[in-house]
Each structure stands twice: as C-alpha cells, then as structure tokens.
Amino acid sequence: MLKAKVSLRNHNLEFISSIFLSFIAGLLLSDIKISGTVSFLNISIAGAVNPLSSLAVLVGSLIKYVATSQLHKNIIIICSMVFIILCKLIFDINLSSRQTGIITAVSTFLSGLLVALIIDEIFFKVIFYLVYAIMAGFTASFINLTCDSLKHKKIIDLKSAVSCAYAIVYVGIIASFSSFDLFDLNIGRITGAAITLIALHHYSYIGGILCGALTICGLFLSSYETGLPFVLLPISGLLAGYLHKNNTAVISIFFISINFIFFIITGIFTDIFNFVFEIVISTLIFTAVSPLLSDKWIITEKSSKEINDIISQQMSFLASSIAVVRNDSKKISDYLSTINSSDDDCDTACQNVCRHCHNRLFCWYNNYDMTKSGFKKLTDMGEPKIEKFPYELEECIYKDKLALEFAKQYRNKLTARLIETKLSESRELLFEQIKITEDIIHSASQKVDIRYSESISKNVKEKLEKYNFYVSKVVAYYNSQNRLLLELYFSADDTPKNFERICDIISDEVKLKLDYSEPVYSGKEVRIRVFETTQYKLDVYSASMCATNSEETGDYFTTFSDGTGNGYVVLSDGMGSGKNASLESRMVVTMFKKLINSGVEHSSAIKLINSIMLTKSSDEAFATLDVIKINLDTAYLTIIKSGASATLIRHNNQVIKISSTTFPIGIVNEADTYSRNFEFDPNDIILMFSDGISENQYHNIKELLLCSNDLRFIVDEICRKARNYSETNVDDDITVIGMKLIEQ
C-alpha cells in the first residue's frame, strides 16, 4: 500500500512539474531564433510531452506572443501545436517516440502548407516548411526518448542508443540558451563551457572534447556570431582533460589561460574581455558544482551485465550439478542398504548348530519341510524359549543351542537395525546440508539490480589510504533505488578499530550523509558496508519479564541492518526458561544475524541453523524463530516464522493476525519455514510476541492498537497484563516487541 501511495504521490508531483516546466518552456522559447529562423523547439516540446503539458506549452507561447505583439508572425507555430494537441487527444496518449515525431512533423508541415495556401506563397516556401517540419519531428522524437529514459531509469544513460538523443537535446538546449544575454554575457556560451569543464573533470579528455564539440554545434546553430568566439572549445576541452586528476583550481586556471590564447590566435579582439569573463564565470560554476556531482546520475561506462550473466549462469549450473550428485548419492545409498542385508537366519543357524549333529541328514533330508517350518517359527519368536519350542523340532537334541543361536541373531538384528536407523538419520542430515549448500549457491546466482561505480571505488580507496586505513578492496555501487552503497574489505591483520571515522572520511569524499553496518568477520577478512541513508528507519520498543522462578529470560531478540537497505527484528524463544533456554535462543538469533549479514538468503540461513541445532549435542534442544524484515527504501515487509507465536499488524485501521503451524528450529531434519509479504506504511504498527503471551489477550491488544499510536504505552500495557490472560498455570517468559517506520 505504501508503495502504491508513494508511487501515486510521485506520479502527481511529476505530472504537475511537467505541466509547469512545459509552460515555462513555452514562455521562454517561443521567440528565440535558430540560424535566423524562429525556433521550432516549443513545437518539438509540445509534441514530446503529454496532452496537458502540450497545452501548457501552447498557453506559455500565446502569452509571450501576445505580450510582444508577435502573434500574427507565429501563426504556423500556434497552428502546429493545436494540431499536435488534437492528435494526442484522438490517438493513444502513450505514443512511442517514433509516433511522437511523426505527429509533430505532420502537424507542423500541414500548418505551414495551410498558411502557404491561404497567403499563396511560392513553391520553395513549401519546401522550407517540409524541412522545418522534419527537423521539428526528429527533435520531438529525441526529446520524448530522453524523457522516457529519465522517467524509467531515473538517471542519464549515455552508454546506450539513447545517448544520441541526449546529444541532440543538449545541442538544442545550448542553442536555446544562446538566445539569452545577461549584461552582454551569453548564457549559452557560459552554460556550454561550464558543462564542458564538468565533463572533462569527471571523464577526462573524452568528456571534454565531446561536450565541447556538442556545445559548438549548439552555439553555431543559434548563430554564426555566437559560435565563432568559442570555435576552439573542443580543443580546450581536450587539453584541459589531461589535467582531470588535478583539483578544480588548477583545471580552471589552465582552462581560462588556454581559451585566452585561443581568442588571440583566432583574431578575436573585439569584446575579448567579455568572452574571457564568460569563461571565468563558467569556471566559477564548475568549481561550485563539480564536487557535488558523481556518476550517480550519469552512466557512461559499459555495463558489466554480460559478465554478471556469465557468473550467474555458472553458479546456477554449479548448484544444479550438486543437486545431481546428491540425488545419485541417495540412490546408491538406498541400493546398498538393500543388498547389504544379512544372510538368512535359518541357514546361519543350520551352519552353526546342525553341522555338529549326527542327525542332521535325517532332519534336513527326510523331514526337510517340517524342519524348515520349525526354524522359521523360531525366527519369528525373536528370543525363543525351550518350553515354547515349535512342535516340529520336539525331537531336536540341541534345543538349547538353537534357542541361544536364534536369540543371538535376534539381538544382532536389533543392533543392526538401530545402527541402520542412526546411519539413515545421518545420511538424511548430510543430504539436507548438501541441499542447503545448493540453495546458498543458487541464491547467490540470482541477478541483482546494481550499478558498479569504478570511479567512487577508486577514489574512496585512495582517500582511506591517505588516512592510513589500508583496505584490500572497495566495491561501490548504486542499488535499484539509486542509493550509494560501499563494501570495504580489510585483512584480518589490518582491521581498523574506528569504523565511525572511516564512515566520516567516505562521507566527506562522496559529499553524502552515510551510515555503516556492523563488521562481518570471515576469518581472513573483515567486511563493513557503508551506505547512503535510507528513506525510513525502524522505531523499535520492547518489554519483557522472566518466568516467576527464573532469574534469566529464555527469550532473546535483536535488531540490525544488513547494510543493503533491509532492517531486521529477530525474536527467538528457547525451550522452557532459564539459562539453557536463553543459550538456545541467543544461539539461534546470533547465527541468523551472522548468516544474513554474510549474504545468505533467509530460508537457507534457517535451514543451516536447524541443521546445527540438531547436531550440536545429544540433548534435545529447540527454539522458535520470528523475523520481521523491512526494506527501508520501499517499506516492503516480509514476515518469517519457524514455530513462532502470532504477529499482529495494524494497517489501515485494521488489525491483521499472522500465524503459522511450522515447527521450531531443532526438531525435524527439514526446517519448515513460513514466509509472507505484506503492505506497510509509516502509520502502521507491528507487534511480535513470545509464547508467554496468551491468545486470550489478543482481543485486548486489538483494542489497544486501534485506540492508540503510542508504541511504548501499547507494549508496556500488553506486557503488564500478560499474566492475567494466561490459559494455564504454566509460567513462561514474556517478551513483547513493537515497531513502526519513521521517515528520515
């Protein structure tokens, strides 16, 4: 629900912003000229945006034309935008970029053709309108393409085919800005030079020469006189780009100097100080803005998607191969347990007893059927007794030896059966552990929606080394929410003690407010995650009471963040109460936290913990596990349970009860886990309980949730009254945990 609300709010904000910006664009761009001709940019913008925004462009243009008494001179532009709006209302609003361009071009040409027919213009004027319409259509298509890319990716993607559209739009923006002067200073030249500086600083000489060339295209498109003074800007960007590793002051001084020399070389002496002043203003803008920019909003590097796909495929194949080995091992084990059965009891007894008897030929030759029947009855008797001997063997002279032999075989069979049972349990546990390994590898093979930042990784590593923090590897990337995360790997021998200091250094480097997660130790390495703060944070409050005759509660809980944007609240209730129960619950929670922070998916983590609890000792030990997982970027809620009590959620003034019939951890070989996703928003409250809270109290808890927003009051009140609602006289530990989301 929260995601829907946020999406709707963002959509409304985007819609209103689009209308407002379209109106401003129509107001400002309606009378600018490109190469001496009235610009088609307001037509292209009207064609690229939604119908209401197109209407806003038309209104802005009309206001400007009326205010400047230029309405009669721009009737073709007005007519073109009217046609475009009508087409958008008639056809589907969600038009493709190509369809947008076609509609814009056709509308513009028809408007020009209509005016030409009315005023009886010559044929060559119609050709001009055709070329004008085609340019307007292409520009509209490119603007629509860039807008769609920004809307879906939330970043400027310069590594794909859309980069061409961005280049065309940039040229159009520079050409438009070039029509405006402020105190004899050209806005387009200042903007283009500043962007060229930013590009060369972040992307070396390649960024400098590309942005410089595109800027010159925009300036010359505006007019020859506007572009001529800055004709060597691409060369300035190329030369200054080799200094991109230096600080902004060095780059600025060099950029001003080289452009001053180029002004003299090209023979521009008139207004040379104005041009130099424009370059100086550009460097001031660059110095102020460049440190605030990063590759967060722009993609220029080729994605490592292909490599990630290969690694993902290899790991997935590895998991499948392990599954095949496990299944084959099971078949072989089942087959061996079948063929390794003991020899027939009757034959064994005959060999051990009857071979010493002088009557064996008489018994087994003359009375074979009767003797065989008697032996089978002895086998079925388990431990035979002389007084209950089969009548078929009444004449046997070695009854006592036969009884001892069959009793011995019976005991051996019981022992073998017990050993086989133990082996079978061990095999099942082994196969389950192999399956857990498959799940872990398979979950690690899942593709993740992240974008690696090589520049930030490199810069952070160098910055930390300046402060004598020697990190073996820095991995910086943006997640699906475009939030920066960094993983820092230290050698176990060089583990820093002050992680907060490291976080502050990185925050200063990337100019963002960062936080960090707890360190995770793997033996040889230590990893910490430093991350840009999430949209939400968890407000958690708890209350607990020990059982009456216990000094220590058997319940244990913790809260933590995995550093990727997920917040966890984990509660475990150990068997019984006291120290042993506390040890079991603490062990389960601690292992779960370590596995999650190490990157193990929650279902695999629970299976692994279950396996450890089953084999840690010969004593019976189990504990429940109750987990709340919330994505602090999107408020996506996941509830995970293994034998835990019910959880209550207040959502939209309704109380939802979530319960499961799963077993606690440490009882059965195959861990049974319940997992479910829910809607959640900052006004909701979640309550978790240990087994000490009776379901008789849920009605009272529901009333509390519906009547109060005070988390502390609700939790304390539930804990205080818990004993009064107990169904039995059995006293148990009580733990109540309440939580809600807070926007940061």
Res 8: pLDDT = 44
Does 1 have pLDDT greater than 50?
no
What pLDDT does 330 receive?
64
At 221-236, the pLDDT tens digits run 888 888 888 989 999 9
More confident: 301 or 22? 22
pLDDT tens string 587-634:
899 989 988 888 888 888 888 888 878 776 556 667 889 999 999 988
Residue type, 244: H
Query: What is the mean predicted confidence (pLDDT) over 546-550?
Result: 74
pLDDT category of residue 402 using cuts at 50, 70 and 90: confident
Res 75 pLDDT > 90: no
CA distances from 735 to 311, 618, 669, 691, 693 (A): 44, 29, 28, 8, 8
**Angle at CA 627, nearest 5°, toward 623 and 630?**
170
Provide the pLDDT confidence category of residue 11 given band limits of 50, 70 and 90.
Answer: low
Question: Which residues touch 128 (CB under 8 Å, ≥6 apart)?
Answer: 112
Range list of β-strands (E), 621-684: 625-631, 636-642, 647-651, 654-658, 674-678
What's the token pair of residue 150? 């920004």
Q: Which residue from 238, 278, 272, 270 is spatially nearest to 254, judged by alpha carbons?
A: 238
Residue 323: pLDDT band with limits 50, 70, 90: low
Between CA 537 and CA 66 the distance in angstroms is 53
Pick from 118-127, 145-154, 173-182, 331-340 the range whose average pLDDT is largest: 173-182
Average pLDDT over the chain, rounded to whole?
81
Query: What amino acid occupies position 359?
Result: N
Residue 272: which pLDDT band, with cuts at 50, 70 and 90? confident
Q: How far is the C-alpha of 320 from the C-alpha of 363, rounded, in Å?
A: 60
Does 459 have pLDDT greater than 60? yes
* 321 vs 485, more confident: 485
Q: What is the pLDDT of residues 135-175, one digit of tens each?
A: 888 888 888 888 887 777 677 777 666 778 888 888 888 88
Nearest to 502 by CA among 472, 467, 537: 467
- 536-743 — its CATH code? 3.60.40.10
The segment with the largest mean pLDDT, out of 112-116, 266-270, 394-398, 637-641, is: 637-641
Of the listed ranges 182-191, 445-454, 651-660, the one predicted with least confidence: 445-454
- pLDDT value, residue 352: 74
Output the DSSP codes for 213-282: HHHHHHHHHH-HHHHGGGTTHHHHHHHHHTTTTS-HHHHHHHHHHHHHHHHHHTT--TTHHHHHHHHHHH
The alpha-carbon radius of gyration of the chain (Å, integer) is: 40
Residue 318 pLDDT more than 60? no
More confident residue, 171 or 350: 171
Give the model's confidence band at 738: pLDDT under 50 very low, under 70 low, under 90 confident, else very high.
Answer: very high
Query: What is the predicted pLDDT for the residue at 7?
Result: 46
Q: Do 82 and 89 form a contact (C-beta atoms < 8 A)?
A: no
Among the listed residues 707, 710, 720, 700, the one whose alpha carbon sits nearest the alpha carbon of residue 740: 710
Per-residue pLDDT, 3: 43
Are 564 and 630 in contact by the 8 Å Cβ rule? The answer is: no
Phi, psi of 123 (to 5 degrees): -60, -40
- Percent pLDDT > 70 in the chain is 84
What is the rounded distance in angstroms from the CA atom of residue 743 to the CA atom of residue 36?
52
Give the pLDDT confidence score for residue 431 in this predicted structure: 67
CA–CA distance, 664 with 592 (Å, rounded to integer): 14
- The pLDDT, as a whole number, for residue 122 is 63
Residue 688: predicted pLDDT: 92
Helix residue ranges per DSSP H, 598-652: 602-615
Mean pLDDT score, 184-207: 89
- What's the confidence (pLDDT) of residue 729? 57
pLDDT digits (tens, 9 = 90+) for 244-261: 888 889 999 999 999 999
Most distant pair of Cα atoms in the chain: their distance:
138
Distance CA 48, CA 98 (A): 10
Stated pTM of the model: 0.68
The arithmetic mean of pLDDT across residues 390-419, rounded, is 75
pLDDT for residue 408 is more than 90: no
- Token pair of 394, please? 């009444």
Cα→Cα distances 317→323, 324, 445, Å: 10, 11, 9
pLDDT of amino acid 314: 53
Once rounded to an integer, what is the mean pLDDT over residues 454-463?
Answer: 88
CA 211/CA 449 separation, integer angstroms: 30
- Return the structure tokens found at 454: 């090589």
pLDDT at 32 over 90: no
**579: three-class secondary structure by DSSP:** helix
Give dist(CA 684, CA 564) in Å, integer.
23
Q: How confident is the model at residue 15 (pLDDT cuts 50, 70, 90)?
A: confident
Over residues 704-723, mean pLDDT: 87
Block residue for tokens 């051990």: 352
- In this predicted model, which residue has the larger pLDDT, 736 or 381? 736
Helical H runs in 448-524? Answer: 454-466, 499-510
